[in-house]
Amino acid sequence: MSKRNIIQLSEFNVTQKIIESLSNVCTRSVLFSVKNESKDVMQIADELKISISTVYKTLSTLEDLALAEIDRYVISPEGKKIKLYRSRIGKVEITLDDLEPILMLHPNDSKN
């Protein structure tokens, strides 16, 4: 499966899925936790005081929607490969026009 980019999201008509996902406070918290700095699952869970399984599930959803990505891998002191996640979006705008939602996703321009 090829990786989708932010511009292609409208082609897949996932606006409603993204809006529903972002209406969840946990999803927003995880996404914007990795906006300015790439983090691993443990860092996100510790920072937000949520379970590791919730972070994994949330990141999986965000990756499926092309809102987050694996920025890079690091090797732990134990020799394990650890994924560092980063938000692909820096700003989200949702407006209504004749009761139709319009979703504007702005790329994440912050550098680690």
Instruction: Specify if 103 maps to a domain.
Output: yes
- Look-up of token digits 């996640």: 85
Q: Is pLDDT above 60 for 112?
A: no
The reply to whether 1 falls in a domain is no
The total number of structural domains that make up the chain:
1
Judge whether 112 lies within some domain. no
In a domain, 42, yes or no: yes
Cβ contact 18:63 at 8 Å: no
Q: Check residue 11 and give its pLDDT.
A: 47
pLDDT tens-digit readout, 64-87: 999 999 999 999 999 999 999 999
More reliable by pLDDT, 12 or 32 = 32
Query: Domain containing 28: what range?
Result: 6-107
Q: Which residues pair with 68 in a beta bridge?
A: 87
Q: From the CB of residue 50, how many other CB atoms can be counted at a distance below 10 Å?
A: 15
CATH code of residue 50? 1.10.10.10
